[in-house]
Amino acid sequence: MKRVILVATREFIVTVSNKAFVLGLLFMPAMIALIALIAPRVFNMQNFKVEGEIRIIDPTGIVASELRSTLAARKDVALRAEEARRAIEKAPAAVRNIAGSVPDKALQTALGPVPNITLVEHPAAADIQQEKAWLTN
């Protein structure tokens, strides 16, 4: 039994004193620290803005109308939040103190920034392959 303990102790010391083991032991915490420092800057969602255009060829007309109304509803939410902010600004001081900016912040946090999306509708008879060509340019 004593020999087993001596062999195990020797193997442990050889493994722990190996350069690769020491480097591996230090490498992982260094990587975690590096990711903890870089990740908030890379994944900063506060300055995230959705901008662009949606091109649609809809022979039925159903998708285009639904998409148009959805994009308009998203803009309506932003307009309502702006109207609420203006109303709170015009309210007496006591009401402003009670209301604060909590509804505005909660709405903006829940919905995020309002996307700046334009809808470009193409005729139903348009050539799909030709319309897709702008994606590869």
Q: What is the pLDDT of residue 103?
A: 56
- Same structural domain for residues 23 and 55? no
At 33, the amino acid letter reads A
- Same structural domain for residues 69 and 107? yes
Torsions phi, psi for 122 (to 5 deg) = -110, 155
- Same structural domain for residues 36 and 58? no
- Same structural domain for residues 57 and 112? yes
Residue with tokens 């009401």: 95
- Find, among 114, 115, 50, the residue nearest to 82 by Cα: 114
- Same structural domain for residues 69 and 96? yes
- Same structural domain for residues 107 and 72? yes
Cα–Cα distance measured from residue 89 to residue 80, given in angstroms and rounded to the nearest whole number:
14
Name residues whose C-beta falls within 8 Å of residue 100's C-beta, 6 or more positions apart in sequence: none
Q: What is the pLDDT along the chain (137 residues), one digit of tens a residue?
A: 889 999 999 999 998 888 888 888 889 899 999 999 998 888 776 667 778 888 888 888 888 888 888 887 777 777 777 777 777 778 787 776 766 655 556 556 555 666 778 888 888 888 888 888 877 87
- Same structural domain for residues 113 and 81? yes
Domains identified in the chain, total number: 2
- Find, among 108, 54, 56, the residue nearest to 82 by Cα: 108
- Same structural domain for residues 35 and 72? no
The residue segments making up the domain with residue 84 are 51-136
Cα–Cα distance measured from residue 87 to residue 96, given in angstroms and rounded to the nearest whole number:
9
- Same structural domain for residues 100 and 118? yes
Tokens of 28: 């992982």
